[in-house]
Amino acid sequence: MEKVTSADGTTIAYDRLGSGPSVILVGGALCDRNALRPLADALASQYDVVTYDRRGRGDSGDTAPYSVQHEVEDIAAVLEAVGGTAAIYGHSSGAGLAAIACNTLPFTKVVLHEPPYGPDDVDPSDDGEQVLERIREGRNQEAVELFLLMTGMPKQEALQVAAIPGLADLAPTLAYDFAVMGHGLDQGGTPVALLRTITQETLVLAGTATAPFMIDAAHRIVKLLPNATFTELPDQHHAVPPEALAPVVADFLRR
């Protein structure tokens, strides 16, 4: 583990594996850097793979007040620490954060894996309010369970996952994920103006067995991105095993 200091003084922990061109992996909600370790291991034979703990998670610090810009500054600090040149891969809300970051940071290529943008005909202003209310009341495990149900996870599975030791401790960071996914929204669930300014070559990924709204979002955003392609991951859900995901990501990065 290595550490770097972000612009607001927050310590950000990260790991590096392998050698080759650098790629930074950005995890989604309720994930620390270990969640993407299997993908990092699978890419490490060809790439210098960087996983990091988003603020408030794992070995990273957290400094109030939160802002999405602080999370972008965290990525900037990691990028500088690994040499200033890298591609970026984001999963779920981490893809939403990657989309924001690559507007101002010089990433070479971008992979957006199922960013959970909501439908454009739904007002996103109240998204997650019930989750946030439970967090404010200290009902963290219930907040995690409700969040997982929102993503389309079956109830019994959501109950089991929410009970995993330590997961409820990450519940307060769900507020950060909602802020990320709400960043740049004008009306509807897609940050149209933000996506249209991403000039890097971009790969959009979605599994054919994932939640329907995530498939819809992937098709929607690939039309907005100036330089994007879309790849389906056959029979894959939101969490994709590295043996199915790594070859697709590696092939895109080497092109």
Domain boundaries, the chain: 2-122+184-254
Task: Please tell me the predicted confidence (pLDDT) of residue 127.
Answer: 57
Measured CA to CA, the distance from residue 36 to residue 50 in angstroms comes to 10
Sign of CA pseudo-dihedral 104, 84, 17, 67 = negative
- What the block records as the tokens of 114 is 């199922």
* SS3 assignment, position 240: coil
Measured CA to CA, the distance from residue 123 to residue 62 in angstroms comes to 30
Cross-sheet strand order for the sheet of 2-5: 2-5, 11-17, 48-52, 22-26, 87-91, 109-113, 201-207, 228-233
Token pair 């979605």: residue: 206
Task: Please tell me the predicted confidence (pLDDT) of residue 152.
Answer: 84
Q: Which fold has domain 2-122+184-254?
A: Rossmann fold (3.40.50)
Mean pLDDT of the 100-106 span: 96
pLDDT in tens, 25-60: 999 999 999 999 999 999 999 999 999 999 999 999
**pLDDT for 156 beyond 70:** yes
Task: Please tell me the predicted confidence (pLDDT) of residue 203.
Answer: 98
What value does the mean pLDDT of the chain take? 95
Q: Report the candidate in 152, 229, 225 with the shortest Cα–Cα distance to residue 191.
A: 225
* DSSP for 134-148, written as a single string: HHHTT-HHHHHHHHH
- What the block records as the tokens of 225 is 């991105």
Contacts of 42 (CB under 8 A, 6+ apart): 242, 243, 245, 246
Quickly state the pLDDT bin for 126 (edges 50, 70, 90). low
* DSSP for 189-236, written as a single string: SS-HHHHHT--SEEEEEEETTS-HHHHHHHHHHHHHSTTEEEEEETT-
Measured CA to CA, the distance from residue 172 to residue 99 in angstroms comes to 22
pLDDT in tens, 174-202: 999 999 998 877 666 899 999 999 999 99
Residue 42 identity? A
**pLDDT for 125 beyond 60:** no
Question: How many of the other CB atoms lie within 10 Å of CB of 138?
Answer: 9
Measured CA to CA, the distance from residue 167 to residue 31 in angstroms comes to 9
pLDDT in tens, 74-87: 999 999 999 999 99
Contacts of 188 (CB under 8 A, 6+ apart): 118, 119, 120, 121, 122, 124
Task: Please tell me the predicted confidence (pLDDT) of residue 196.
Answer: 96
Contacts of 35 (CB under 8 A, 6+ apart): 27, 28
Task: Please tell me the predicted confidence (pLDDT) of residue 186.
Answer: 66
**pLDDT for 212 beyond 90:** yes
pTM: 0.96
**pLDDT for 3 beyond 70:** yes
- What the block records as the tokens of 36 is 């993407």
Quickly state the pLDDT bin for 97 (edges 50, 70, 90). very high
**pLDDT for 114 beyond 70:** yes
**pLDDT for 61 beyond 80:** yes
